[in-house]
Structure 1
C-alpha cells in the first residue's frame, strides 16, 4: 500500500432607507470579481407569522449586528432607517420565541420598537416616550430557554450554516444531511480530534485515535473524505492532522456529494470549519488542563470591542507533555480575527491562524497488504495498549498550519447582499514517521521510517451574491458566484523502506532512527487551477413547498498535463408541513479530478480520468417541543479505484462502481426538564458492482471499511440538587468491517463508552467551570480500520482522562 502523499473605485453613499436600487451595482461588482459586505439582513422565506417560534442564541452586541443575525435566522421582514440602530447596544436574544417576542427582547433598552403590520412585516421606530421618566419605555421581556433545546445534540437544526453555492440556510431548510458541533460542545466533551468531535454521529468516523497524526482522514457514510474547508477556504489536511479546535466556533460534517457546493473533491462529504469571530462585547476565557499521564494545556480566548465599529478576537494555546499513548506532544496555536464596520452596510473581516505541531514517538500506523490472511483464519491479532511496543522513541511528525483571509460583506439593501473573500492556506510537513506491515495473527511486523518534506499551498478567491426577488407570485432566493482556486505542491525526496526494523506488538521495540534526514524541497510541481461559476435558485411556491435548482461549472486544469471541464447539477424539493419540520428529496453529483498513477505502480504515469459520482437522498428533519430528529435514506454511486495484480506486478485502475446505500437516523428527546436522551443509527449496504472480468473475484463484495451498522446512544443530565453540575455519557457501537475488498480479513466490532461532567461555580464573583471527561471508560482494546485505502489499520485509543478548569471574565 502506498505511503506516498499524492498531489491532487469610488462608492456612492448608500441610501439610509432600505431599497432595491443598488442591485445592479452588486451584479456588476460580482462579475468583476470584487465585492463589498455589511449590515441588516433581510427576509429569507415568507414573512414569519406571528405565532411561529424558533430557537435563538444570539449574544449581546451592537444593535445592527444583532439585528442582522436575527433577521437572517428568523426570516422576518423589517423596514426603517438604518441610522436608528447606529451606536446602540442590544442585549441579544436567547430561547424559543416568536418573531415579535424576539424583536422585543433584542430591542429592550434601545429606545426602539418593531411594529407589525397586517401582513406580518415589521417597521423599526422610535419607541413612545414616558413623560414622567423622560426615556423610552418598553414592556419587560423575560426570556426563558425552552427545555426542548437545553441539552439536545440536534439543537443546531434551527441554526444557519454555510452550504457553499447554496448560500447560507438553516440546517432545517438544507436538503442534505448535515451535522454541526459548536465550540461549547467541543469544550464540554474535551474533544481533540474529529473522531471525538463527531462521536455521537454514527455516520462520521475516523480510524485515527487522538494524539496520533490523522494520516488517513475521515469517513462519512462509509466513504473516505478529504474535503476540508476553513471559512470556505480549501485546506489540505491530508497526511498530517486535524485542524486546531481552539480557534473554531463550529465544525460541520456535510454528508454526501459536494460537487455543486464546492467543486472537485472526494464524494464522501466535507468537513467545514467556521472560525471564531469577535463577540463585540468584552469576553475573556482562560483554560488550563491536564490529561494523563502528563500532558498539560493552556488556552486564552479574548475578544474586545476597540470602539463602536472595530472588534478583535485572539486565541493563544499550548499543549505540552506526554499523552496516554506515550506520544510526546509539543503544539502551539495563535489566531487573530478582526471585524471592522465601515458604515451601516459594509463589514470588513480578516483572519489569521497559525499552528506549529510536533508529535514524537506516536504508535505505528499499520498496513496489512503483507498479512497472512489464510494462516490467521481471517482474524486480526489481539491488540495491545502497551504502546512502547509499537512506537519508535525518536520518530516524529512535524507540521505547520497557516491560514490567512480577508473579505468584505456588503448588505446592499434588505433583499441583497454581496460577499467577497480572498484566502491563503499552507500546510508544511516534516515526516520522520514510523509505519509497519503487520504480518500475522501472532502480531509480528516489519517496519520502516518514512521520511519526506511537503508543502501544500492554496490560494482562493470568491465573490458571491445572494438575494430575493418575487416573480409570478413566487419568491426566489438566488445565489450566484464565481471563484478561483490555485494549489501548488512541493516535496522533498522520499525515503520509505519496509525493513528498518522488525518486532512484535507484544514485545518492546528498541530501534532508534540514526540515518541522516534531508528535508530540502524540490521545485514545486505544476499548479492545479480550478475556475468555477455557480448559480442556484430556491423557489418558494408557498409557505409549504420549496424547490432548489443549481448548477456549477468547473474548469479544472492540472498543468502537469490534464484538463477537464464539468457541470455539476443539484435538484431538491422541500415540503414544510410547519415551520419546524422539513421533508426533502434531493439529487446531487460529485466530481473527482483525474490523476496520474503513482510511481509505485507498474502503470506509473498513466492518466486516470475524472469521474462523476451520483447521490439521491430522501429525508426529514424536525424540532418539536421536546423532540429533535433527523433521518435520511440515501444511495451513492462512485467510480471504483482498485489495485490489480497482473503478472506479479501491481496496477492502479478504475474498475466498476461502488454502491453505498443505506439509512441514518438521529434523535434527541427531552425526557424531563433535566434529562435529555438521544440515539443515532446508520445502516449501510455497500457493494462493489460492474467490475471487469479481471476483477470478477470481488464482484458483489462489500468495499473495505464499510460497516453495516453503527449505533450511538447518549444522555445528558443536569443534577437538580447541585446547581451548575451536569453529567453526560455516550456509547457507540462500530460494526465489523472487512479490511480489504476481497473480504478475507475481518476487523471485529466494538462498543466504546465515553463519559464526563461539567460543573459551573463562582469564586469571589468570578465564573469558573470544571470539566472532566473519560474516553473509552472500560478500556476496550480494539483495531480501528478505515483508512483512505483498503488494507490499513490502527490500534485503538486506550482509556484516557482529561480535566480542564475554565475561567470567564
Structure 2
C-alpha cells in the first residue's frame, strides 16, 4: 500500500469487519487499506449551541481534565478525596485537547512521572523515581493484557496513574514495573448520547493521522452499547529519517442489565517504526585514555562529574535501515453480578498475542575527548502470549453503625515469551559529536532469519483480602488488607540449537533456572475527613516482584521475591471547582548488582514530596500540574571497593520535576480557548557512580482550539506548538546511558462530530 498515492480515509464498516485472530507473526508486514468512505450525518431539527468547553464531562471533575473517581483494584472505584493513595485519572477530554497520541503525551502532565524511553521504538517512564514500561500497564485492572509495545491512546477513556507500591490494590506486574506506581487504561464505552467523530491530524514531524470514533447504544433503556475506534497514521516523526506507521482497531461492547454488567473489549494494532532514534551509552573506558575507568573515577568523580555536552538537535544515533514491526492482538471479557443490594461478584479474563520483529543498533561512546563511538547491531524476534484471569466479590456489612467494605479477589497472570535475541559481532565507527544519519553505517554479517524459541514462562497466582472500615459519620476510614502472591518462572537462557553462524552470538532454549516462591505483603490505609472538602490520609503499602536470577558463571541462583515498602501521608482539599493534594512518601526497595551473590546486596530509598493541583477555579480558566521533590538514594550497599555506591543518587531520578498547564477561554471570541504548559526536569545522573550527569531543562508549549458549528456539524480545530523555544536536551536514563530529546514540533487537527 503506497502512502504517496492512496487516499486514506476511515470506515466504520471496515472496523466492524476486521477478523480478530489471536495468532500470526510480525515478520510478515501486516497492513490493511481502509479505502474510502462516505458519512451521512442525520438531519437535526435545531443547531446546538457550541461552547468552548462542555459544561461537564461525564465522570470528570470541574474542568473536565481529571476523573472524579478511579479504579482502585480490590477496593473498587474510589473518589479522589476518599482514597488513601495519590492517584490521578486523566480523561479522554484531556487527551483530545492535548492532542495526545501516546501515553507519554498523557503522563507528561504529571510531575511524578518522568520520560525514560530507550529509543523511538521503546517507551518507558519512571514513577517516583522507579522505572516502569508499557509491558506492565493494566487494562481495566488486569495486568498482562494491554498492548505490550504499542502506546497509542485512541481506545482509552481514561489513563489512571496511581503512585506508590500497589500489591494489595492491583497485584504484581509481570515484569516488576510497579514499584513506584502503576498505570491503568480504562477502555472507551458507548455513551447514552451517540458519538460519530472523524478527526484528521497532521504534525509531530510530517505524520498524517485519520481517526474515527463511533459509539451507539440501542435496545430497551439503552441496554446494549458498541464503541469502535479506527486509526491510521503514517509519515516521518520529528527525528531525521524516523518513520511511524500505525493501523489500529479497538472495539468496546457492553451490556447493562438490572443486576449484571458485561463488557467485551477487542483490539488489533500493527505498528512499524523505521530507523528509530536510539540511546547513547558511555563505555566504561570512555575516559580520554586515563589509566582508571571514567565511572570508577580518577578524572571524573561524584564531586566532579562529566556533564554531557550540549546536544545537536539534528543528531541521529539510530542507524538507517533498522526497524521495529509489532502486531498486537488482545481481548478481554469482563462482568459483574449483583448478588444482593450490598454484594457484587465480578470476574474478567483476557488474552493478548504480540509478535515483534526488531532490528536495531547500539551507539556506545568509547572516548569522550574525541567522541569516538562504536555502533553495534542486534536482532530480536519475539512472540509473547499473555493470559490474565481475575475473580472476586465486594460488599459491605454494617455492625453498630460501622460499615465494613469487604473485598476478596483472586488472580492468575501468565505469559510465555518466545524469543531469538542475537548480537552481530562486527561493529562500525561513529562519532557522538558530529553524528547525523550516516549512510556509511553498513549492515553487519549475521543470520537474520525469523527464530523465536521458548525463552521464559512466568505464572503468578495471587489472593488479596481487604476491609475498608467506615465510621457512622464517615469521618474516618481504615483500610486493612494483604495479598499473598506465588510466583513461578522458568527461564531458558543458553543457546544450543540455533543455526551456526560465526558472526552472531545467540541466546536460546536450554532450561537454565526454575523457581517457585511465595510471599505475603500487608497494607494499611487511613483517611480522616476533616469535613466534606478536606481529608488527611496515610498508608503503608508494599509492592512485590519476582526474585532476580543471579549467576557466578557456573551455576544460577534464584532469589526470593522481593518487597518494596512505602510509608506515605498527606492531605487532599476540594474547594468545589479546584482541588489540591500534598503528599510525603518514603519507598525502600532491595536490589542486587553483584551477580555472584546469593542475596540482595543493596537498597534504594526514594523519599519525596508531591504537590498536585487541578480543576477550574474560575469559569473558563482550567489548571493542571504539580511539583515533585525527590531524594532518590542508594541507601545501603554491601559491596566493597570502587563498586560500593552507598549514598549516591539513584540513576535517572532528578531531584525536581514540575509541570503546570493552563487553559483560558477567550470571552470575546466564542468557542476560542488558548493553552500553555511549562515543564521543568532537574539535573540527574545516568549512572550509579554519579560521574555522568545531565543538566536540567525547561520546555514550553503553546496551543489554541476553536469550536464552532458548520451547518449542523460541531467542529473543533486544534493547533499546538510543543517546545516553543526549540530546546534540545539529554534525558538521563541508567546504566551509563542518555537519550536525546526535544526540538520544536507542532500538531494540527480538525474534528467533526457528525
TM-score range, shorter chain: 0.7 to 0.9
**2:483 is aligned with 1:538:** no
Q: Distance in 2 between matches of 1:293 and 1:174?
A: 41
The corresponding residue for 1:268 is: 180
Partner of 2:418: 490
8 Å CA contact retained: 1:381, 1:443: no
Match of 1:796 among 738, 741, 748: 741
Three-state SS of the structure 1 residue aligned to 2:307 is coil
1:518 to 448, 462, 469: 448
Residue in 1 that maps onto 2:540: 587
Query: Residues 597, 397 of structure 1: CA spacing in aligned structure 2 closer, same or farther, 3 A cutoff?
Result: farther
Instruction: Note the C-alpha offset of 1:758.
Output: 1.6
Q: Which residue of 1 aligns with 2:333?
A: 406
Distance 2:370 2:666 in 1: 48
The aligned runs of 1:499-578 (5 Å cut-off) are: 499-508=427-436, 509-510=438-439, 511-513=441-443, 515=445, 518-542=448-472, 543-559=474-490, 560-578=513-531
TM-fit CA distance, 1:633: 0.2
Q: Is the 8 Å Cα contact of residues 280 and 303 (structure 1) preserved in structure 2?
A: no
Q: Does 1:251 align with 2:165?
A: no
Is residue 151 from structure 1 mapped to residue 63 from structure 2 by the alignment? yes
From the superposition, tell whether residues 627 and 660 of structure 1 become closer, same or farther in structure 2 (CA, over 3 Å).
same
Q: Is the 1:400–1:429 contact (alpha carbons within 8 Å) kept by the matching residues of 2?
A: yes
Report the secondary structure of 1:390's partner residue. Answer: coil
Say whether the 8 Å CA contact 2:372–2:429 is kept in structure 1.
no
Please tell me whether the aligned partners of residues 397 and 429 of structure 1 are also in contact (alpha carbons under 8 angstroms).
Answer: yes
Q: Which has the higher helix share?
A: 1
* Residue 169 of structure 2 is aligned to residue 224 of structure 1: no
Question: Which residue of the partner structure matches residue 591 of structure 2?
Answer: 640
Tell me the CA shift for residue 433 of structure 1: 1.4
Any unmatched runs of 5+ in structure 2?
1-54, 288-293, 491-512
Aligned-partner Cα distance in 2 for 1:236–1:604: 34
Structure 1 position 346 matched with structure 2 position 299: no
Distance 2:357 2:211 in 1: 26
Aligned to 2:79: 170
Deviation at 1:275, TM superposition (A): 0.9
Equivalent residue number for residue 275 of structure 2: 361
* 1:569 to 1:802, Cα distance in 2 relative to 1, 3 A: same
Cα shift at 1:172: 2.2
After superposition, the C-alpha distances for 1:598-617 in whole angstroms (9 at most, x for unaligned) are 8xx85773423321111000
Alignment counterpart, residue 736 of structure 1, candidates 654, 662, 683? 683
Picking from 653, 674, 685, the partner of 2:631 is: 685
Q: Deviations over 1:626-664 (max 9, x none)?
A: 4310110000010033357xxxxx999732211111110
Return closer, same or farther for 1:707/1:770 CA change in 2, 3 Å cut-off: same
Does the CA contact (< 8 Å) of 2:407 and 2:467 recur in 1?
yes
Q: Which moved more, 1:186-195 or 1:519-528?
A: 519-528
Tell me how far 1:351 sits from its aligned partner.
0.8
Quote the offset at 1:801 in angstroms: 0.5
Where 1:698 maps in the other structure, the secondary structure is coil
Match for residue 391 of structure 1 among 295, 305, 318: 318
**How far apart, in 2, do the equivalents of 1:145 and 1:749 lie?**
36
* In structure 1, C-alpha distance between the alignment counterparts of 2:424 and 2:524, rounded to whole Å: 46
Q: Is the 1:492–1:519 Cα contact (8 Å) retained in structure 2?
A: no
1:778 aligns with 2:729: no
Distance 1:526 1:622, change over 3 A: same
Contact 2:591 2:600 (8 Å CA) reproduced: yes
Question: 8 Å contact 2:637–2:644 — kept in the other structure?
Answer: no
For the residue of structure 2 that corresponds to 1:356, the secondary structure is: strand
- Aligned pair count? 651
- Select 2:406's aligned residue among 467, 473, 478: 478
Aligned 8 A contact 2:245 2:273 in 1: yes
Q: Corresponding residue for 1:121?
A: none
The answer (yes or no) to whether the contact 2:145–2:350 under 8 Å persists in 1 is no
Q: Structure 1 stretches of 5 or more lacking a match? A: 1-142, 645-649
Tell me how far 1:170 sits from its aligned partner: 1.6
User: Secondary structure in 2 aligned to 1:202?
Assistant: coil
Q: Could you tell me how far apart the structure 1 residues matched to 2:208 and 2:370 are?
A: 36
State the distance in 2 between where 1:652 and 1:728 align. 54
How far the C-alpha of 1:369 sits from its partner, in A, is 3.6
Residue 442 to residue 772, structure 1, CA distance change in 2 (3 Å): farther
Q: Could you tell me how far 1:316 is from its partner in structure 2?
A: 0.6
| 1:424 pairs with 2:339 | no
Residue aligned with 1:322, SS: coil
Distance 1:149 1:586 in 2: 24
Change (3 A) 1:421 1:145: closer
Root-mean-square deviation (Å): 2.7
1:181 aligns with 2:90: yes
Contact 2:281/2:364, CA 8 A, preserved across alignment: yes
The CA distance in 2 between the partners of 1:448 and 1:671, in whole Å, is: 54
Distance, in Å, in 1 between the alignment partners of 2:264 and 2:416 is 23
For residues 330-356 of structure 1, what are the alpha-carbon distances to aligned partners after superposition, in whole Å with 9 as ceiling and x for unaligned?
A: 111101111124x42122221101111
Q: Is the 8 A contact 2:703 2:720 kept in 1?
A: yes
Where do residues 10-409 of structure 1 align in structure 2 (5 Å cutoff)?
150-151=62-63, 153=65, 155-156=66-67, 159-208=68-117, 212-215=120-123, 217-226=124-133, 227-235=136-144, 241-264=149-172, 265-266=176-177, 267-308=179-220, 309-326=223-240, 327-341=242-256, 343-370=257-284, 371-372=286-287, 373=294, 378-387=306-315, 389-409=316-336
Counterpart CA distance in 2 for 1:144 and 1:300 is 23
3-state DSSP of counterpart to 2:269: strand
Match of 1:185, SS? helix
Query: CA 1:420/1:150 → structure 2, altered by over 3 Å: closer, same or farther?
Result: closer
Q: 1:495 deviation in Å?
A: 2.1
CA distance in 2, matches of 1:236, 1:538: 28
State the Cα distance separating 1:515 from its structure 2 match.
Answer: 4.5
Moved more, 538-547 or 606-615: 606-615
DSSP 3-state at the match of 2:742? coil
Change (3 A) 1:766 1:448: same
Q: Distance in 2 between matches of 1:739 and 1:553?
A: 35
The 1-side partners of 2:653 and 2:594 are apart by 18
Equivalence for 1:20: none
Q: Distance in 1 between matches of 2:140 and 2:623?
A: 32
CA distance in 2, matches of 1:476, 1:441: 66
Question: Does the C-alpha gap of structure 1 residues 496 and 416 become closer, same or farther in structure 2, counting only changes over 3 Å?
Answer: farther
3-state SS of paired residue (1:261): helix
Secondary structure in 2 aligned to 1:165? helix
Q: CA–CA distance in 1 between the matches of 2:332 and 2:711?
A: 40
Query: Do structure 1's residue 749 and structure 2's residue 696 form an aligned pair?
Result: yes
**1:457 to partner: Cα distance:** 1.4
Distance 1:337 1:595, change over 3 A: same
Q: How high is the TM-score relative to the length of structure 2?
A: 0.81
Q: 1:392 to 1:468 in 2, by over 3 A?
A: same
User: C-alpha separation between the residues in 2 aligned to 1:519 and 1:314?
Assistant: 37
